[in-house]
């Protein structure tokens, strides 16, 4: 089981801040979050940094992509 912490932006959008494995650590106190069974795998795009968001009401994950320079491996 995992605990996801987030920082609320709007009622429908919050930025994911961290994941805690509840098998190894206790649930953090004083932060907004919720438990999930599995951490979702975000899609990857070459030349972009992935920013994870959730809808705190539905617990649906979604992503923004920020352009960044290509890594040497991506240039190949």
User: 13-63: per-residue pLDDT in tens?
Assistant: 999 999 999 999 999 988 889 999 988 898 888 889 999 999 999 999 999
pTM for the full predicted model: 0.80
Nearest to 23 by CA among 45, 41, 38: 38
Per-residue pLDDT at 71 exceeds 90: no
Look up residue 32 and give its two tokens. 């907004």
CA separation for the pair 63, 76 (Å, rounded): 26
Nearest to 31 by CA among 68, 3, 5, 65: 5
Tallying the residues shown for the chain, one arrives at: 76
What CA dihedral angle connects 15, 33, 12 and 58, to 10 degrees?
Answer: 130
CA separation for the pair 2, 38 (Å, rounded): 7
């Amino acid at each position: 089981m995992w605990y996801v912490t987030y920082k609320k932006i709007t009622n429908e959008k919050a930025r994911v801040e961290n994941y805690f494995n509840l098998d190894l650590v206790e649930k953090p106190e004083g932060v907004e979050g919720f438990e999930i069974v599995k951490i979702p795998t975000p899609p990857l795009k070459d030349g972009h940094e992935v920013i994870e968001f959730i809808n705190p009401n539905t617990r649906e994950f979604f992503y923004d992509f920020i352009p960044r320079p290509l890594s040497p491996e991506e240039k190949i």
